[in-house]
């Protein structure tokens, strides 16, 4: 696989920046001008997790034409799987000091752990669930939707319904996932103090590692013959059928892969923000993820990462200065980008994109068009 300059630059910047920030946090005293405070580390880690979600959205939207308005559901499910592990790590350090039950279960008067919580005390099992739960849900959902040839707006609406249904389900106390409050008060991950600066720095570097890994994987998929067929499916689905391809299989593969990528992003997000609750399923979150991709540049992968970081940086800044205006700013940004930067921020730097190749010899082919 050949990497172009933009891809190498992205990897170097993402991983380099994470490494430098973590090193400065660890190696300089808090009084130093070079010191990177821990809250910045946590914030940067959060952005990188959002970038994974954006990458996942771009993979299905930019290359397979599936506009998912429910991708945050996969992100949140990965987050919940990690959250369950972190709850089990608390052990008897909870408010009620019950070594077998998380606080919210004691509060609800439950006597024993529900069956589906078993196994989550093991890190390996929990990580398997981070991959499996979003993956299996996506496989079932995708198999049903793509096989029935549900596309376009209808599919987008169903994805939105999916995340909304999960939102309502996770709100319920008797689901056993902490209801409205979700899961929080985490103490440790793999035995390390989750509040410690060193753990935070390590999580940032690990997030950067996973983001770069996902980026390379996505590039491999998109650059393969599979990826070319995916783009063909995006533009002219029926034509691929008459060539003997099964668009539903291609969509399903990329859809499941994308859901797993989003789930991993969610799993890394939870220890860094310290909480997971049903609001992560809110339909607005999924729509925001689509806006990040649109702002960065749909169908470019690099743009998804850039868009997620830029918009979230803007959000952090905006919500501290003019919090009540943020949603207006987000909406305005979406409209402006759609109107004036159809290829997003990345489009400013790139003449040709995968989405819409520009003619190499526009004059000649235009002339032929007229005569032909």
Q: Which of 1, 243, 339, 348 binds other proteins (CB under 8 A)?
A: 243
Which are the contacts of 315, defined by CB distance < 8 A and separation ≥ 6? 326, 330
Which of these segments, 97-105, 122-130, 172-180, 362-370, binds other proteins (CB under 8 A)? 362-370
249-268: contacts with other proteins (CB under 8 A): 249-250, 253
Q: Is 245 in the site for other proteins (CB under 8 A)?
A: yes
**How far apart (Å, rounded) are the C-alpha atoms in residues 283 and 167?**
9
Strand partners of residue 183? 276
Q: Is 124 in the site for other proteins (CB under 8 A)?
A: no
| Residue 228 three-state SS | helix
Q: Is 357 in the site for other proteins (CB under 8 A)?
A: yes
Which of these segments, 14-22, 217-225, 316-324, 326-334, binds other proteins (CB under 8 A)? 217-225
Least distance between other proteins and beta carbon 62 (Å): 12
Q: Is 226 in the site for other proteins (CB under 8 A)?
A: yes
Q: Is 111 in the site for other proteins (CB under 8 A)?
A: no
Crossing angle for the helix pair 71-90 and 123-147, to the nearest 10 degrees? 160
The Cβ of residue 40 has, within 10 Å, a number of other Cβ atoms equal to 15
Taken as a whole, the chain contains a residue count of 372
Total number of residues binding other proteins (CB under 8 A)?
34
**How far apart (Å, rounded) are the C-alpha atoms in residues 31 and 320?**
24
Least distance between other proteins and beta carbon 64 (Å): 12
DSSP state of 282: -
- Closer to other proteins by Cβ: residue 198 or 236: 236
Mask: binding to other proteins, 4-23, rule CB under 8 A, as x and -? --------------------
Q: Which of 92, 174, 324, 360 binds other proteins (CB under 8 A)?
A: 360
Which of these segments, 183-191, 209-217, 228-236, 258-266, binds other proteins (CB under 8 A)? 228-236
8 A C-beta contact, residue 272 and residue 62: no
Q: Is 241 in the site for other proteins (CB under 8 A)?
A: yes
Q: Which of 139, 217, 231, 329 binds other proteins (CB under 8 A)?
A: 231
| Residue 276 three-state SS | strand
Which of these segments, 185-193, 199-207, 227-235, 268-276, binds other proteins (CB under 8 A)? 227-235
Helix (H) or strand (E) holding 313: helix 302-321
CA nearest to 310, candidates 76, 72, 62, 50: 50
- Closer to other proteins by Cβ: residue 338 or 368: 368
**How far apart (Å, rounded) are the C-alpha atoms in residues 248 and 252?**
6
Q: Which of 28, 195, 224, 338 binds other proteins (CB under 8 A)?
A: 224
Q: Could you tell me the two tokens for 165? A: 């249904």
Q: How far is CA 64 from CA 10, 228, 301, in A?
A: 23, 10, 13
- Closer to other proteins by Cβ: residue 216 or 253: 253
Least distance between other proteins and beta carbon 250 (Å): 6
Q: Is 232 in the site for other proteins (CB under 8 A)?
A: yes
Q: Is 147 in the site for other proteins (CB under 8 A)?
A: no
Question: Residue 297 — left, alpha, or beta (φ > 0 → left; ψ -120 to 50 → alpha)?
Answer: left
Q: What are phi and psi of 3, to 5 degrees?
A: -110, 130
Alpha-carbon torsion, ordered 252, 256, 261, 262, to 10 deg: 100
Residues forming the site for other proteins (CB under 8 A): 221, 224-226, 228-229, 231-232, 235-236, 238-239, 241-246, 249-250, 253, 354-357, 359-362, 365, 368-369, 371-372
């Amino acid at each position: 696989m050949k990497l172009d300059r933009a891809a190498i630059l992205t990897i170097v910047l993402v991983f380099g920046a994470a490494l430098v920030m973590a090193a400065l946090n660890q190696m300089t005293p808090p009084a130093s001008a070079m010191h990177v405070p821990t809250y910045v580390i946590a914030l940067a880690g959060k952005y990188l997790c959002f970038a994974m979600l954006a990458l996942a959205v771009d993979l299905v939207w930019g290359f397979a034409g599936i506009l998912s308005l429910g991708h945050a559901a996969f992100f949140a499910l990965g987050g919940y799987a990690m959250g369950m592990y972190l709850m089990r790590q608390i052990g008897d350090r909870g408010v009620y000091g019950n070594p077998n039950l998380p606080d919210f279960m004691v509060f609800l008067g439950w006597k024993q752990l529900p069956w589906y919580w078993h196994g989550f005390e093991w890190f390996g099992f929990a990580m398997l669930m981070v991959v499996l739960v979003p993956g299996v849900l996506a496989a079932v959902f995708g198999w049903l939707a793509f096989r029935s040839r549900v596309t376009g707006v209808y599919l987008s609406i169903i994805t939105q319904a999916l995340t909304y249904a999960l939102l309502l389900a996770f709100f319920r106390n008797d689901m056993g996932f902490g209801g409205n409050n979700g899961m929080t008060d985490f103490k440790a991950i793999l035995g390390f103090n989750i509040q410690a600066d060193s753990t935070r720095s390590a999580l940032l570097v690990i997030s950067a590692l996973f983001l770069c890994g996902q980026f390379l994987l996505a590039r491999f998929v998109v650059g393969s013959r599979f990826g070319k067929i995916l783009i063909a499916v995006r533009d002219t689905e029926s034509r691929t059928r008459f060539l003997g391809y099964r668009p539903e299989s291609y969509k399903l593969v990329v859809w499941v892969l994308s859901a797993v990528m989003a789930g991993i992003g969610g799993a890394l997000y939870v220890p860094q923000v310290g909480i997971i609750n049903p609001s992560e399923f809110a339909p607005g979150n999924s729509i925001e993820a689509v806006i990040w991709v649109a702002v960065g540049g749909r169908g470019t992968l690099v743009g998804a990462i850039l868009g997620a970081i830029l918009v979230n940086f803007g959000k952090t800044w905006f919500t501290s200065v003019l919090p009540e205006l943020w949603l207006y700013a987000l909406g305005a940004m979406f409209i402006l980008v759609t109107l004036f930067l159809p290829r997003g921020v990345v489009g400013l730097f790139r003449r040709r994109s995968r989405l819409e190749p520009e003619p190499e010899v526009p004059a000649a082919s235009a002339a032929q068009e007229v005569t032909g």
